[in-house]
Chains A and B, each alone.
Chain A
């Protein structure tokens, strides 16, 4: 767990090892901690060999979808004569998620190194780090680190004297959640409105500026240098051997009603119950946990029965009826009103919809209006059917998954905590405070 706290003994610190160490931010400090060895090694390797190591490690995308990283890289046709691009998705806007922010704040060079290795592995000479507009401090840290690395020749025309060109550029977003969607990010990087694009063509065929492009999450890229130094086998061995599909460590951002919120790095397959009670310290005094959204606001809510039995990896979360997502864990205790929380989340999606697809533009706003009316005590029994039908319309029918993400917590919230919604309709529960401050 990051600064100012010491890591919990049950954490496995790979990415978060140097969180809180100010010197690790500088090039020298990073080198003193073994930094840039991996890059030096990578630049001497064949791109396909790097892909093989990453494939072997079982590393999967940490941004939410969990796509195998090595496989993604192998989609880039090497030597096709086109410029390739690497985009690092640092537009961490998923409510409840704040792991990439810490990586960039404390170990900017880990990300630069990861970017440079990945760029080399996919035949790209240019990498863009697209940082969320609100991330002023990480932006500042990253820009300084990139400048430093460029001046020292670690990246640039002749990266580490290898004769290979690897440029890394930092680009600041303007405050749109949707720009974290990979195709919207590419539009934004091109100077266009950040609207998601229709797939196909997939980015590996025609991405940024119409060229083959790979988009990776910050945490994914930051995990690449240690994998390259220690080998894929080492990474695989850290996590539970009974699930080879989820390997290595994962940073979990925990917020909400726990004693110790923050970032925790644990191995894949860690028991969720122990994580919540042991590492995070359990619920605040006198309260009980009620529900968890384990993977950022876009995944279904689960109740404590489901959470207590869950394992913290891609498959474990699916088995629990939710998803690992970006591992932004939002914990709610018994003092929270689920309808109110769900309405708040829906409002976020309604605000952030890019307005392209009808179901998303109108559906997220309509859903929000119904939920807010329910919370205000003016709901009717028909609203359940309307909401469920709306969510059905918003799922799987649009260009990107923003509206699906809006529907997930609403549907799961109603399914698992219907009583709370009914209590509002029958006015057994009455919220006296305005439900949501706009």
Chain B
């Protein structure tokens, strides 16, 4: 856009300069003016059908749809002119004539654009005296349910499936006020990215079956995070209710995931609430492991590790910060740090460049590689009798178990107790990624931050904090009290991350040195 000439106009009395070809709606956003709209979505082709974004452009004969009208030099736009307000009021009244007033039982309530704009600009009453149209609820397959009575036919879902997912399952069927969103015969919304239609729906017509009746939107706490479903690193929002994660939703980032999140990612949250967590550090003395306090456990861990070659089996879903310390411990002792990544079928979202559910089903494989961990199918193959093993938050294969059995000491740094682990000398409970802060590095080398969304159970501590303490106990001194400091320690010794900090990464992420700017640019 750099060489596109700028156009100057006035919107609501504010001077605006935007590249030629920008819509009035997008231009207004740049000066903080929200033009109400339903069918427009920046990630979809323009339809211009809801007629909600009609604005008054001086000298134009008619109201102009802000989403479909390009800016012009010297244009003067009035979003809240009497004419435009009346038109929006009319649209709102018409959208509501066949819309059930069932907000109290509608999942969308509280995050519904129809509700919001009606409160803001709509009529207090309806003049509609005729019977309402009724259509039964339909199961669209996948995670999606369709409530046609609430549908305002903005066609966002239709355009998403057709133009972004390239799988035209949805259509507008029938005409006039009999119209509804239809599903192609014999097809279901089983596209791996189909769940996005639920987020795109501005009203409660398309609902997630998974989230159905689970929570009211105003009860949710929302936290910026990054999906761990695969190595794409889609930005997302973790929504919690009473400290339980109940929904994951995409967080827009034009460099990674545009506006979208795949179904695999969005439904991959139940394990975050699991009840069988390690809650207290424990130490195996002469007898059974026994809960203890952190100082004793860390000293115990250092004691069993000291003087041994330390092999690390790390989860590729641990943060860069945690992996950094793990790699250091292994390296200092002459051992090896390795990880294994679960694989799955790749599922691209056709309409967005370089966006896919990746075969690597873990968030930080790239980060682990950059930090010196080795990707391996037999990560513990090098364990010799008498060596020490740190199992960091991952399950074991029978092969791993065989190797761990040879070890002279086993330290578990984990959120849970892996099945089949033959012995544990010290167990150090850590937070999972929604309970701590940290960063992941996606497959294109983009470092992205995630924030804490819920409180950790019991005595569990952030992974980077536990591992920094362990390094300290082993004599590798770090002065780390925050995740940001942990990252700073990482950045000062790892050239790929040099110059980055939590502050510069922000919530949009930043590429490591030598990587392309981002996944989609």
Contacts and interface: CB of A to CB of B under 8 A. Distances in A.
B286 to A, nearest CB: 76
Given A358-B153, A362-B97, A397-B62, 16 more contacts: A198-B68, A355-B153, A355-B172, A355-B177, A357-B49, A358-B95, A358-B152, A359-B90, A361-B94, A362-B177, A364-B177, A365-B177, A366-B128, A392-B90, A396-B63, A397-B90
A365 B128 CA distance: 11
A361 B90 contact: no
A350 B94 CA distance: 14
Interface string A362-381: 11111001100100000000
Contacts of A350: 176-177
A363 B152 CA distance: 13
B175 A362 contact: no
A355 B171 CA distance: 12
A386 interface: yes
Interface residues of B, number: 34
B16 to A, nearest CB: 21
Of the listed residues A356, A365, A373, A396, the one surrounded by the most CB atoms of chain B closer than 10 A to its CB is: A356
B48 A361 contact: no
Contacts of B47: 356
A178 B178 CA distance: 16
Contacts of B46: 198
A176 B87 contact: no
Nearest to A364: B176
A381 to B, nearest CB: 13
Interface of A: 176, 178, 193, 198, 350-359, 361-366, 369-370, 373, 382, 386, 389-390, 392-393, 396-399
Interface string B355-385: 0000000000000000000000000000000
Interface stretch (B50-58, B183-191, B469-477): B50-58
Contacts of B94: 358-359, 361-363, 366, 393
A198 B49 CA distance: 9
A198 B175 contact: no
Nearest to B63: A397
Q: Which 9 A-B pairs have the closest CB atoms?
A: A355-B179, A365-B177, A393-B90, A362-B94, A369-B130, A353-B176, A356-B49, A198-B48, A396-B62
Given A361-B176, A362-B95, A370-B130, A397 B87 contact: yes
Interface string B404-441: 00000000000000000000000000000000000000
Contact of B176 (A198, A351, A359, A396): A351
A386 B179 contact: no
B443 to A, nearest CB: 36
Contacts of A386: 127
Contact of B91 (A355, A359, A373): A359
Contacts of A178: 175
Contacts of B129: 370, 373
Interface in B271-292: none
A178 B48 CA distance: 17
B174 interface: yes
A322 B94 CA distance: 28
A382 B62 CA distance: 28
B98 interface: yes
A401 B48 CA distance: 15
A193 B158 CA distance: 13
B65 interface: yes
5 contacts: A362-B94, A366-B97, A389-B90, A390-B90, A397-B51
B88 to A, nearest CB: 10
Contact of A358 (B49, B63, B130, B178): B49
A270 B9 CA distance: 49
Contacts of A353: 175-177
